[in-house]
Structure 1
Amino acid sequence: MGQFFKFLFASCLGTTLALFLLFFILIIVGTSQVAKETSSPKVSIRDNSVLKLTIPEQLPEQTNNVEMQNFSFKDEKVIGVHDLAKTIIKASDDPNIKGIYLQNTMYDHGYSTLKIIRDALLQFKNKGKFILSYGNYYNHKNYFLASTADNIFIHPLGFVELKGFGATIPFFKELMEKVGIKYNIYYAGEFKSATEPYRLSKMSDQNKLQLREYLESQLDEYIAQVAKSRNLSESELRNNFDQFLSYTPQRAIENKVLDKAASEQDVFIEIRNKLNIKTDENINFVSVSDYYNAKGIDTDYSAKNKVAVVFAEGTITDEKGSEGEIGKKYLKIIRDIRTNDKVKAIVLRVNSPGGSALMSDELLHELDLTRAAGKPIVVSMGDYAASGGYYISCHADSIFASPHTLTGSIGVFMMIPNIKVLTDEKIGIDFDTVGTGPMSNKFDITANWGTQESTILQENTDNTYKRFLEVVSSGRKLSMDATKEIAKGRIWTGPKAIDIGLVNRIGELNDAIECAAKLASLDKYRVAEYPAQDDAFQKLIKKFQDKDEDVQSQITNGILKEEMGQLYPYYLEYKNIQKMKGPQMRLPFKIIY
């Protein structure tokens, strides 16, 4: 036996030393690779340069607030939308940057996000600098930005899909029935549509009503902005979209939606003319990421007082939360801010469809304690501040929303799968039980549920909804009757939310920061962003420290995102629903239109 333990110890020691040596080698190789890949010289921003803007597929609120999708030592930042806009504005004051070449691609970012970039483009243009746009294909998303350009070019064989806003919601009830899975569903709020894809085969009348009203108001906002940029009447543009009059390049040009059909080389000739350079001379294009890395974002470090901007983006989860999720790590962030004497105010930037009711309540509690400690809190809403996203917002001293924000959705639901048909009839697995009392085996997902389970969980759902109403009523200083009337799980746009008392004013993040500073009586201050973001190398090390299944899950998600394209958001929302625990305050699927 002693010999056995001697060999076991030797084996373990050898394995440990080997792992240590491997880690040491990885560090050396990694450091060498980092030195090589990050030592490249900065891009020269010489005179007569043109900023090349291509909207990336990943566009978080905060720079680098996304999960690392590949194993690379390159210090490649994923620029957040606010830093991207600041970069464009900074270039507008740079005498070396003469214009912007907007290279249009396909993306599904929300209109609140895109408006931040659009506003920056207009500010750039107002400085007397040119913007030229080129693309093979235009839809409402990329046209929203392209409409700021002096001239919009399209490939002669391109296609224009400007036909109004429409939303498609997937329904899984029939699929689940074929698989043998049934959901036990409980909800509060007649407009709370989150459970509809699992209990219905089509949208309810209430859901159709609220979505139609939402889309109509969003199209009105869109048309007002685009028509002004294109010098078209709003009625003319609305009719163009409704009748789908501009689907070919030629039709779009005739209707003044676009300006010219041309190849990209023709656009480059136009740029050379604007730069007053020879036709064979190279254009010095500078990408936004290169300009951002070269110039950075101006910060006044002489200011001691700070306004903390907390980027709360993504689903609200009971877990710690990875990048792009709101989880337990935010509780510590808010506590740390509360005890930081240099931080005088907080701006909570919310871009979330909601999630866990329990975590939403914990986050609100920490924010309430921070306000009680004398630090004002202002909320700035992005594309979504709905359900749990609104719950964590509603006690703020002031709330700003974008014209394109989707908010409200004050409602609660619970969904628990039942797999009895799957196990009994589809794959032939039988379950038997034994317990100490009549309730011991209730809530078993392998057995059919009766009235007792339903009564208990519906009561739990109703109690959580009551708490939601109370929180909104006290935070927004509304009567309970008024709160009940605007709740019901119904979604609202930013402007409508002002009318019904859920939001204070329309504005962007900068407006919220200025408001927070004013509430804190600050004349001189600097902005501190939370959560702190790791660089690429730190993220890589943390990835190796994660559990194997976490690493495998991240790699799998990266592959699926690449392969599924526009269908990936639906898959992601479905996976999130499968992970839900307890009462939920969240939207069903993000509305892509």
Structure 2
Amino acid sequence: MKFLRNLLASIFGTLIALGIIFMLFVFIASIVTESEKVGVRKYSVLEIRLDSNIKDFAPKSDDPFENLLGFSDNKIGLNEIINAIENAKTDPNIEGISINVLGIRGGIAQTQAIRNKLEEFKESGKFIKAYADFYDQKSYYLSSVADSIFINPFGRVDFKGLSSEVLYYKDIEDKTGVKMEVIRHGKYKSAVEPYLYNEMSDNNREQITAFLKSLWNEMLVDMSKSRNKSIDELNNIADNLSARNANLAVENNIVDGKLYKDEYDNKLKIALGFSTDELLHTITLEDYISTGKGRLKASASNNIAVIYAQGAILYGKGDENYIGQDLIINALRKASKSNNVKAIVLRVNSPGGSALTSELIWRELELTRKKLPIVVSMGNVAASGGYYIACNANRIFAEPTTITGSIGVFGTIPNISKLAGKIGVNAEQVSTNKGANYSVFEPMTDEFRAVTTEGVEQVYNTFLERVAKGRGMLVENVDSIAQGRVWSGVEALKNGLVDELGSLGDAVSYAAELADITDYKVRNYPSYKKDLEDRFNSFSLVKSKEKIFKEELGEANYKIYKTISEISKLEGIQARLPFIMDIK
């Protein structure tokens, strides 16, 4: 009995100690959070760096330990960036903007959306200036919106046009004996092409060339306007690399001058009306957002729900990084049940993925549309499964630089029968029935291939029907622009896959029109709250997995790792883009 009392006392004491430690952590976290609060001083310059991962929607975690212990990844929401620039237009404490980007961790469509918002900011009469030690192409595209652009005297501008690289694995498959069995529909469905050939097919080269040219032309139009140079002049500079050093960049009016950072800071002071020996007040975009400027104030009772579907589409719950049916369906149901929500905007930023998950979300969208109007806004990419969940909206908006379409499906199954033969492994199967079975240790049988092909064809035909119904087109007309082909937003507008070119804000405004309301506020979905199990799982590493792998592998090798990791998660028939679509 005494032993039992001592045991219970020990357990009770341990629990009390853990409770005290927990409260101490909360107290420390609250102190740190309080000490990090910033304000906006008068005569401040808003500094835009964009060295965080840009997500369409990146709400701060409600877990007080994540930021304190470094569990959360470095991220920022596009919606917050846009709202912050909008607020800066009328903020009496913000005199201008300084762009200091060395690399943008976001897509071209996100970059264009930020650039367009900066164009609007200039209407306020406040200045925008830009500086960098060197410019890559995306950072120059954004910075070209500035009134004046400066570069380090030893810097360069990587201005050469867009390119994309695709890796092919057929040779290594033959050498190792490890291969991917492929069944697909769509002559442009290039996601599986690297497993079939050693070089790019003519069809794939045709589609990549077409959308790269379309994206580049959009960028040229914007830069031509800002820099007062013709598109032919800009293309000539790109062809001849005539901005490859600071002298050439100034000579060809790509930048306005060569300065060291301290000299650039003096220019900012002069723009503020200060003398060069006075203190320059700058506030970073992240700090500005932390003061509450990442939200637009509104007191309206009517809501437009913006539901963010971002990441690859996988079967399951879903989270901030991938689209699962549970999270999106629950968000749709929650929004449609709210008396205050009058319309829904589905923001899609996805290369696609599981066909089954896409179909489940499509079905819920069909049911929701009977209650509320639904408008789609496309981000960097809304292709394949990403287009599947977009096609039945009342109206579809795309950015000009959105990558969309890719209406096609495929199935991939690993096979190591050749490797097994080389190393002396023989697999024998025993079955109760005659149905077509599959083993990674044996060559795929004709019967199994036929059954799998039937499944792929069924999904493809269903995909065509969904698009035809949603877009008011004939199935054969959809098929003619489908076949897995990828289109830019501009091209998609021409062939009827989208209704209008515009931003998320344009989509929200149109949704309000459909709902016949003029006074409203935006409410963001879904909620990424973690359950208790997820919270404890996060304590297994002090740093996020992404941070650790990037540090150990490097940025380039991490991309390869991420590609292999995505391949390992694929189950069932897929409707998605190529695994690697790195435009630079």
After TM superposition, the score normalised by the length of structure 2 is 0.93
Question: What is the match of residue 222 of structure 1?
Answer: 219
* Equivalent pairs, count: 578
Whole-Å separation in 2 of the counterparts to 1:127 and 1:465? 50
Q: Deviations over 1:341-367 (max 9, x none)?
A: 221110000011011000000001000
Matched, 1:367 2:365: yes
1:53 to 29, 48, 52: 48
Whole-Å separation in 1 of the counterparts to 2:105 and 2:412? 28
Matched, 1:509 2:508: no
SS at structure 2 position matched to 1:158: coil
Q: Please, which runs of 5 or more residues in structure 2 have no aligned partner?
A: none
In 2, are the aligned partners of 1:64 and 1:78 still within 8 Å (CA)? no
CA, structure 1 residues 466+265, in 2 after alignment: closer, same or farther (shift >3 Å)? same
In 2, are the aligned partners of 1:353 and 1:385 still within 8 Å (CA)? yes
SS at structure 2 position matched to 1:141: helix
CA, structure 1 residues 21+417, in 2 after alignment: closer, same or farther (shift >3 Å)? farther
Question: What is the match of residue 559 of structure 1?
Answer: 548
Give every structure 1 segment of 4 or more consecutive aligned residues whose post-TM-superposition deviation is greater than 4 Å: 9-23, 65-68, 74-77, 297-301, 551-554
Matched, 1:489 2:481: no
1:353 to 346, 351, 354: 351
Q: Percent same amino acid at aligned positions? A: 35
Matched, 1:24 2:13: no
Q: Deviations over 1:73-104 (max 9, x none)?
A: 27988431121121112112112211112112
Whole-Å separation in 2 of the counterparts to 1:19 and 1:365? 50
Per the TM alignment, residue 175 of structure 1 is displaced from its structure 2 partner at its CA by 3.0
Whole-Å separation in 1 of the counterparts to 2:316 and 2:392? 24
Question: What is the match of residue 39 of structure 2?
Answer: 44
SS at structure 1 position matched to 2:322: coil
Decide which moves more: 512-521 or 553-562.
553-562
Per the TM alignment, residue 459 of structure 1 is displaced from its structure 2 partner at its CA by 0.8
1:546 to 524, 528, 537: 537
1:121 to 102, 118, 122: 118
Decide which moves more: 388-397 or 83-92.
83-92
Matched, 1:523 2:521: no
Per the TM alignment, residue 303 of structure 1 is displaced from its structure 2 partner at its CA by 1.9
Whole-Å separation in 1 of the counterparts to 2:346 and 2:85? 24
Question: What is the match of residue 582 of structure 1?
Answer: 572
Q: Please, which runs of 5 or more residues in structure 1 have no aligned partner?
A: none
Whole-Å separation in 1 of the counterparts to 2:241 and 2:6? 73
SS at structure 2 position matched to 1:194: helix
Question: What is the match of residue 378 of structure 2?
Answer: 381
In 2, are the aligned partners of 1:561 and 1:568 still within 8 Å (CA)? yes
In 2, are the aligned partners of 1:66 and 1:323 still within 8 Å (CA)? no
Aligned pairs for 1:453-468 within 5 A: 453-468=448-463
Code of the residue aligned with 1:367 in structure 2: it is L
Q: Deviations over 1:362-399 (max 9, x none)?
A: 00100000012x20000000110100000000000000
Whole-Å separation in 2 of the counterparts to 1:565 and 1:221? 28
Decide which moves more: 347-356 or 495-504.
495-504
Whole-Å separation in 1 of the counterparts to 2:8 and 2:185? 58
Whole-Å separation in 1 of the counterparts to 2:441 and 2:11? 44
Matched, 1:136 2:126: no
RMSD: 2.7
Whole-Å separation in 1 of the counterparts to 2:176 and 2:25? 47
Aligned pairs for 1:335-484 within 5 A: 335-372=333-370, 374-426=371-423, 428-439=424-435, 442-484=437-479
In 1, are the aligned partners of 2:301 and 2:521 still within 8 Å (CA)? yes
1:110 to 98, 107, 111: 107
In 1, are the aligned partners of 2:345 and 2:508 still within 8 Å (CA)? yes
Per the TM alignment, residue 244 of structure 1 is displaced from its structure 2 partner at its CA by 1.6
Whole-Å separation in 1 of the counterparts to 2:62 and 2:385? 22
Question: What is the match of residue 248 of structure 2?
Answer: 251
In 2, are the aligned partners of 1:306 and 1:525 still within 8 Å (CA)? yes
2:172 to 159, 175, 180: 175
Per the TM alignment, residue 15 of structure 1 is displaced from its structure 2 partner at its CA by 9.5
Aligned pairs for 1:153-302 within 5 A: 153-299=150-296, 302=299
SS at structure 2 position matched to 1:160: coil
Decide which moves more: 142-151 or 393-402.
142-151
After TM superposition, the score normalised by the length of structure 1 is 0.91
Question: What is the match of residue 573 of structure 1?
Answer: 563
Per the TM alignment, residue 123 of structure 1 is displaced from its structure 2 partner at its CA by 1.8
Code of the residue aligned with 1:174 in structure 2: it is D
Per the TM alignment, residue 159 of structure 1 is displaced from its structure 2 partner at its CA by 2.1
CA, structure 1 residues 242+567, in 2 after alignment: closer, same or farther (shift >3 Å)? farther
Decide which moves more: 220-229 or 53-62.
53-62
Decide which moves more: 325-334 or 309-318.
325-334
CA, structure 1 residues 179+203, in 2 after alignment: closer, same or farther (shift >3 Å)? same
Whole-Å separation in 1 of the counterparts to 2:575 and 2:6? 52
